[in-house]
Every structure is written in structure tokens, then in C-alpha cells.
């Protein structure tokens, strides 16, 4: 044992575990026709037949092998199963024969000897129902839908009242949203109209003010320009050149025509840049 390394010991442990687990629940054998063969344990083993049955899912076509029970097995009705009554079985499975599950629902098996049955050698097998029974109505095959619809209970008055209330709540919520959207749209349109009106009014005022500007040509020899600063535009601070087009305000102050028009266009500065007299 001392010569075994840790990895060898772990491997051996795994092999033992695997062997133990396969011994406790052998995989179902497959019959020649592809059907499963499930071997039913006897009550004298570690697990009772019923406990074994609860661990498994059975399907129509599965074969049950009762060999561990040693004696013949009876298929009985539910009440006979409870009483271990072997007098009138539905069917007898001879010792060593296989029982093939046909149909679905509950199957009751008891040992042929009542004493063994009393000792726990009996078993109930539940065979899975057809998949269609487990599906919701919406997924049921077309031909079954009318039947399912007819069998479903009608809505109670309370349920209908709740549905009506939900419907009216939805309607009132929708109405509130429509009102909010209408108010916001109205406000938006009103603001747009106000903005357009202000813009239109300013344009009109500016157009009127532009008419107050009279045009003139700069002539260097003109005495009006020779006296004190008259040679420089007070807006762009540039000297006039011969034949520049000037704009003259009513206060007689002169500027480049383009300079004074731009001055008035930009808005609030609607006064003479030199003497501050409103235009």
C-alpha cells in the first residue's frame, strides 16, 4: 500500500465507486426489438419494488422482468392490490416471463403468494401519459382545440368584472396621454408662432430704419470730410477711399454704407455709433 502513489490511489477509488454505482442501479437492458427491459428488484433486496418504481419513468412498450421475485406475478385491481388478494387477478405473469406494458395509467402488481405480498413484494407502476395530455390548450393539436375549449370553465362574473375594470383603466390612461400630447403640441405651435411674429416684426422695423440711411460718395477734397476725423469710418476704423459708398444717418454722421447697414441689422444697436441718437 505504501508503494501506491496518490494518483494511483485516486484512480483505484474511482474504479471502486463506478463499480458500486453500476451495481446499485444497472442500466436498463435493451430487448431484441429495441424495447427496454427493466428488472424489478425483490422486496428482500436493498430497495423495495415500490421505491424502485418511483425512481423510474415507464413508457408503453417497456418490458418488466420479474425474475428476482422468483414466483409468478399477478396484475390486479387497485383494491385487490391493497388487500394482497390473489383470487381474481387481471393477468398472471408466469415465473421467468416478461411483462410488456401496454397503454398508460396505473398498473398494480402483487406477488402470487399473499405472504410475500404482505412482506412488501408488490408494486405500482405509473406509465407516463401521452404528451398531448400534458400540453397547454394552445399547443394542442387542431382537432382537440374545440374539445379543450368546451371543457374549460367559463369566466366567472368576478373575472369578467376585473377584465372590464382593466379595460376601462387602459382607456382612461390612453385618454390622459392623448390630452398631455395635445397640450404639448399646442404649446409648441404657440411658441413657434410667437417666434415667427417677433422675427417678422424685427425685420419690418429694420427695413424701416434702413430707409433712414441716405447714400453718398466719398470725395477727399470735400470740406465736410477734411475737418476732424471725417476720413475714418467709426465702425470699422478704416480710412475712406476715393468714391467709397457711404451711408449717412439723419444726424449727418457718415459711415461705410455696408458698415452702418450691418450695425442696424444686428438688432438692438439702432442708434448712431457716434452721437447715440436713435435712428
Report d(CA 231, CA 219) in Å as an integer: 10
Assess 232 for contact with Zn ion (CB under 5 A).
no
Based on C-alpha coordinates, what's the Rg of the chain?
53
User: Considering only residues 236, 239, 245, 267, which one is a binding residue for Zn ion as defined by CB under 5 A?
Assistant: 236
User: Considering only residues 233, 246, 254, 257, which one is a binding residue for Zn ion as defined by CB under 5 A?
Assistant: 233
Run of H or E residues at 195: helix 157-210
125 three-class SS: strand
Report d(CA 151, CA 218) in Å as an integer: 104
Minimum CB distance to Zn ion smaller for 12 or for 277: 277
User: Considering only residues 75, 86, 212, 235, which one is a binding residue for Zn ion as defined by CB under 5 A?
Assistant: 235
Min CB(186)–Zn ion separation in Å: 47
Assess 210 for contact with Zn ion (CB under 5 A).
no
Report d(CA 106, CA 125) in Å as an integer: 6
Run of H or E residues at 206: helix 157-210
User: Considering only residues 56, 253, 261, 265, which one is a binding residue for Zn ion as defined by CB under 5 A?
Assistant: 253
Min CB(212)–Zn ion separation in Å: 12
Q: Which stretch binds Zn ion (CB under 5 A): 103-111, 147-155, 180-188, 226-234?
A: 226-234
Q: Which stretch binds Zn ion (CB under 5 A): 137-145, 148-156, 163-171, 253-261?
A: 253-261
Assess 101 for contact with Zn ion (CB under 5 A).
no
Minimum CB distance to Zn ion smaller for 28 or for 230: 230
137-156 positions binding Zn ion, by CB under 5 A: none
Task: Report the number of secondary-structure helices (H) and strands (E) in the chain.
Answer: 9, 13
Do residues 73 and 110 make contact, with C-beta atoms less than 8 angstroms apart?
Answer: yes
Q: Which stretch binds Zn ion (CB under 5 A): 45-53, 65-73, 175-183, 267-275?
A: 267-275
Assess 251 for contact with Zn ion (CB under 5 A).
yes
φ, ψ of residue 163 in degrees (nearest 5) = -65, -40
Do residues 101 and 62 make contact, with C-beta atoms less than 8 angstroms apart?
Answer: yes
Min CB(252)–Zn ion separation in Å: 7
Phi-psi region at 267: left, alpha or beta (left = phi > 0; alpha = psi -120 to 50) = left
Assess 275 for contact with Zn ion (CB under 5 A).
yes
Write out the three cell numbers for 115: 405472504
From residue 148, give the alpha-carbon distance in Å to each of 128, 151, 187: 20, 5, 55
Say how many residues touch Zn ion, by CB under 5 A.
Answer: 10
Assess 216 for contact with Zn ion (CB under 5 A).
no
Long-range CB contacts for residues 222-230, cutoff 8 Å, separation at least 24 = 230/254
Q: Which stretch binds Zn ion (CB under 5 A): 157-165, 172-180, 210-218, 255-263?
A: 255-263
Minimum CB distance to Zn ion smaller for 61 or for 273: 273
Minimum CB distance to Zn ion smaller for 71 or for 274: 274
User: What residue ranges bind Zn ion (CB under 5 A)?
Assistant: 233, 235-236, 251, 253, 256, 259, 272, 274-275
Amino acid at each position: 500500500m505504501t508503494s501506491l502513489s496518490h494518483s494511483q490511489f485516486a484512480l483505484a477509488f474511482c474504479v471502486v465507486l463506478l463499480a458500486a454505482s453500476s451495481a446499485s442501479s444497472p442500466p436498463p437492458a435493451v430487448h431484441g426489438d429495441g424495447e427496454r427491459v427493466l428488472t424489478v428488484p425483490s422486496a428482500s433486496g436493498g430497495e423495495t419494488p415500490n421505491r424502485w418504481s418511483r425512481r423510474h419513468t415507464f413508457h408503453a412498450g417497456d418490458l418488466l422482468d420479474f425474475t428476482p421475485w422468483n414466483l409468478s406475478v399477478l396484475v390486479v385491481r387497485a383494491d385487490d392490490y391493497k388487500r394482497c388478494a390473489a383470487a381474481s387477478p387481471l393477468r398472471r405473469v408466469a415465473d421467468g416471463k416478461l411483462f410488456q406494458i401496454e397503454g398508460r395509467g396505473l398498473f398494480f402488481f402483487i406477488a402470487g403468494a399473499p405472504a410475500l405480498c404482505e412482506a412488501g413484494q408488490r408494486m405500482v407502476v405509473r406509465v407516463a401519459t401521452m404528451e398531448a395530455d400534458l400540453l397547454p390548450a394552445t399547443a394542442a393539436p387542431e382537432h382537440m382545440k374545440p374539445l379543450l375549449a368546451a371543457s374549460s370553465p367559463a369566466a366567472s362574473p368576478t373575472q369578467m368584472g376585473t377584465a372590464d375594470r382593466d379595460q376601462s383603466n387602459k382607456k382612461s390612461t390612453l385618454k390622459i396621454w392623448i390630452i398631455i400630447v395635445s397640450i404639448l403640441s399646442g404649446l409648441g405651435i404657440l411658441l413657434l408662432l410667437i417666434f415667427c411674429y417677433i422675427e417678422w416684426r424685427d425685420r419690418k422695423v429694420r427695413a424701416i430704419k434702413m430707409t433712414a440711411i441716405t447714400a453718398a460718395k466719398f470725395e477727399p477734397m470735400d470740406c465736410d470730410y477734411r475737418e476732424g476725423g471725417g476720413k475714418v469710418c467709426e465702425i470699422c476704423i478704416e480710412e475712406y477711399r476715393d468714391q467709397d459708398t457711404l451711408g449717412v444717418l439723419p444726424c449727418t454722421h457718415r459711415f461705410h454704407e455696408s458698415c452702418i447697414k450691418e450695425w442696424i441689422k444686428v438688432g438692438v444697436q439702432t442708434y448712431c455709433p457716434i452721437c447715440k441718437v436713435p435712428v
